[in-house]
Structure 1
């Protein structure tokens, strides 16, 4: 990791710090999602193996019963990876990353609070406070290698509007909103299909007298697990939040004031960062809120 030097080197150092905190946040999120997926698979496997154990005899019955017991025993261990503490640590890592990003963009744009006589001292103080406040999470970011990337091509408010606001709108919020809407719809279709399968299985069992009712529990477990996973991921909520943020950023760009009036330029950047920050805070709060124990 490079050591900050005078002038632009300090912004480069903060940009590197943003990279390692972002990587740590992404890794923490990946661990949570992976644990949720494995937990889903174990829940379904336990239901399936337990049902099969009641339908077969002899040694195979004991084998499937053992598989079901092992899956049930492993589930609580895997659930630790989805605990409120894990989710809170992930959201805090992401919060630090986004805060450092915001400070870097504001410093490069040269807007308030960086219009003073010593903007680099201001950046050092503000970035240092952000990192120090999360010092209990610094173990992983401290050993990661920063991504090799240049500073954003920002030198004034016009380039800030192009590189920060417009790119957030067109490259992140709009595509993510569309993607999340599609993912949410897929899970809804899957849950609906499974619910129909439950109804059909029950109907066939009643009509032909076949012993299919034992499988209804397996299918019900699968449906409930799909819904639980989708709910935990907050796909629908995030889609709405990202769509709302995209609309607000689009409105801000439509009233972009330019660089001529420092006060209006400062307000534009501050309002843009506020919209992005509110969006980040909203979905992170939603994640931790729903993962807290009742």
Structure 2
């Protein structure tokens, strides 16, 4: 709680106060930042006069509670601190508060996990963690500078029916949906046709669509049919050139036939080189999520 000074004079006063506080980045809209109190008496009105990021704060006119308005403004990588000016008046005297809110740098991936947060905390670097669809979408929508690779959302959500692909194969969509240079790979989703899957692997090449590929972490955790979503813990090395994403399906995964798709490359089994090309309209339903800005420790 922050208290201002006041005067016993009845003349107009402008009492300047510096208020410094800190909160974790990525709060929720409505979270309390600080409560401004004053020694002024009577009916006090609080007003938000200015803010360094428009729409960041809201102030309770009669409570002095400074709260988060636009939570997305509270991103450490964009704004490590946010300032504002608040006034309190009893109709005669005015107290002015210069607010400085420092943001604590957090693991942004952790911030956007709710259901899966404990599993993520307990995972070691290099582990895959199963997450929910909404958590995957939050990472895609709210982390900075993200890119989707493998299959586009347009293909993922097209009206074409899903069919089972043959297995075991390593496949790579050759559709230009690649990782930009400087990317950190952070999450993955795909459509499984089978249950109790334990051996599937995500692969990345920085050479070409045909490889050579390296595994990203180990095998994905056991999962069942339909869309599955995963996050990769401890992605600490940015790729030095364009990245190509491939997937080893130990059992059948889903694909769609979509007119206009160019081709895909594949190899039998768990392979780090793809030696065969198919020019049908098949799009394999796997997608990677990456960012060119490291937002975690």
User: Shorter-chain TM-score: which interval?
Assistant: under 0.3
Q: Report which of the two has the higher share of strand.
A: 2
What's the TM-score once normalised by structure 1's chain length? 0.20
